[in-house]
Chains A and B, each alone.
Chain A
Amino acid sequence: MQNSPLMSLRRKRTSEDGEIIFYRKGHSIEKLAVIVSRNLRKRFGRIQALRGVTFSVSKGSATALLGPNGAGKTTTLKILLGLLKPDSGEVEVFGMDPWRKGDKIRGIVGVLHEKPVYPQWASVRQLIRYAARLRGLGEMDEERAIKLSGLERYAGARISSLSRGYLQRLGIALAILGDPELLLLDEPTANLDPAARMEILNLISVLKEELDVTVLISSHIIPELEMVCDSAIFINEGLVLDQGSLDELARKHNSRAVVVIRTRNPRKLASDLIGRDYVKSVEVSSESVKVEVMPGELPTLESEISRLGGKYGIERVESAAGRLQDLYWKVIGVAR
């Protein structure tokens, strides 16, 4: 990926053009945190949307924001962008208060809302150009966003003529415009066909891994989140129930993880793995091996697989019953 267009166009932020100072309080969890929220509360009339939300998101992580409908995910994202004012509590994004310094935060944060509404009369290019100019970006950035989101053929089309899937792509194009340091994505793959979903998920992975973009994704499609996320925040009825890296959470909640390894030598691989003490069970079929590992031991299996890849002709590794799915039911299910 040396020649990735993302890499070549990446802006280096220096102290002269506003180096981002990350939040530091000496507290381990808050060190290098991009987002810090403490005891955040928000009420809409009679509904208490947030009842003391506390969490942090560390730099370079991809965090899943998980919870049922009405849990407070969208309200939290809107507060992080400075679109809503919290009733009480503290929130800092890149060390800034979103309500007071919202424009600065939105200049370095890309966002995709759950149900975005765009001016119907405008064309795709008009809208992207407007957003780019507000960020002080040029035509090259516009073109890159259009290209990466797969909107080249529809750049001149009116927004009113776009299907829901292409509207979602437009949202992605607007979110990745410029070089966001942080992506806030609310249901990013909603309304997309399977191929487009994979494209978007790959794009998120590229942004995260190659450009060190911090990602906070709210979604109901847990297997997809598992593909890109390395940590999670579980929220329900306006309260954060738990948060941390997937490994930490898996250990803490005794969560099961099952992976399917596609290989040319399933029997040999199975007999090799069955003797490991971190492997709970192994199931062999004609082309694959299904392995369940002890809670929190998935990284050990992953490193083992990469070591054994050549030896057993491993073609692909898929998550079967993901940790995240299991964790979701353990954390949210218990709370409910």
Chain B
Amino acid sequence: MLGDLRKFAFRAKLHMEFILARHISLYAVVAFLAALLNAYIVIPSILDQIVTASMSGPPFGPVRPPTPFMGISLTLAHLIFSLVSVSIAASMAGELASTSLFHLSQPLRRSEYSVSWLLAIVWLPSLLMALSLFVPISAFDPRLVLRVSFQPIYLRLVEDILTFSMFCWAALTRRRGVVAFIGIFFILLLPYLSLVILGLISYVFLGGRNPPSLLLTVYEIIFPSTTSTLFLGSVGQLSLDPMRASVGTLIISVFAQLSYVLYFIRKFEVK
């Protein structure tokens, strides 16, 4: 059992290294630039907060609410690493249409193959995003990490993990164009388009009253970070607290990822 697990981890790692080898330097540069950008935006903001706080109390006092700059930094990191995730998913679609015959003719299980792509599409960009936010701050001064509010970062990561999981499913179409379209749709359009639709439902069918709480809850669960950003200051209007909604997001993410792996193991054929 343990030996099987070790073999699974070894082969999945080997395949992941191979598929990332082509673009690994590009991803490293992107992560470095994102970290620099975050450092440029967040560190002065935190320092400014410390200076302001020191006027009225001791430095490095209790944690303050997040600065508005954190939101900009998070949005930038989200956009950058969403593009990284889409590009890896497009690579997977390309591989499934061509070189998967080579890969799956090797002693590599379909589970190992699909999990290595899952790690590359979902978990690597999420990890890089988190690191690009925390590494520059802790490199500057580890104590500054405590000044950052973790909730918006956590919500952003949870929302992105669900979105990136969808890209794994998109890759199964074996078409790069479909992955690119779904990527742009999920990152740039869906979160805002859904709100417009909710607004229209509210205006046309409900005479301007709030849309049904079920619809709003579904929206909150799928987009916990977007919800908490857009409804900042009016969280009372929400049917769920974003942190509670994120539990649902995590459950759906786990389901999306497990079903993707199970589909691959049971149904995927190399034609």
Chain A residues near B (Cβ < 8 Å):
44, 78, 81, 83-85, 102-104, 106-107, 111, 113, 116-119, 121-122, 126, 130-131, 133-135, 174
Q: Are B271 and A111 within 8 A (Cβ)? A: no
Find chain A residues with CB under 8 A from B14 CB. Answer: 130, 133-134
Q: Are B106 and A106 within 8 A (Cβ)? A: yes
Q: Contacts A83-B269, A130-B14 hold; do A106 and B101 have CB atoms under 8 A apart?
A: no
Q: Are B99 and A134 within 8 A (Cβ)? A: no
Q: Which interface residue of A81, A83, A85, A113 has the most chain B CB atoms within 10 A?
A: A83
CA distance A133 to B7 in the complex (A): 12
Cross-chain pair count, CB within 8 angstroms: 60
Find chain B residues with CB under 8 A from A133 CB. Answer: 14
CA distance A107 to B109 in the complex (A): 11
Q: Which interface residue of A106, A119, A126 has the most chain B CB atoms within 10 A?
A: A119
Any A CB within 8 A of the CB of B234: no
| 30 A-B pairs with C-beta separation under 8 A | A83-B101, A83-B105, A83-B269, A83-B270, A84-B269, A84-B270, A85-B267, A85-B269, A102-B104, A102-B110, A103-B112, A104-B107, A113-B101, A113-B105, A116-B102, A117-B99, A117-B101, A118-B99, A118-B102, A119-B22, A119-B99, A119-B102, A122-B21, A131-B106, A133-B14, A134-B14, A134-B106, A134-B108, A135-B106, A174-B102
CB contacts under 8 Å to A, within B82-104, are 95, 98-99, 101-102, 104
Find chain B residues with CB under 8 A from A81 CB. Answer: 105
Q: Are A103 and B109 within 8 A (Cβ)? A: yes
Any A CB within 8 A of the CB of B18: yes
CA distance A135 to B11 in the complex (A): 9
**Known A84-B271, A106-B106, A121-B22; further 20 A-B contacts with Cβ < 8 A:** A44-B271, A83-B105, A83-B270, A84-B269, A85-B269, A103-B107, A103-B108, A104-B107, A106-B105, A107-B107, A113-B101, A117-B99, A117-B101, A117-B102, A119-B102, A122-B22, A126-B21, A130-B18, A134-B11, A135-B106
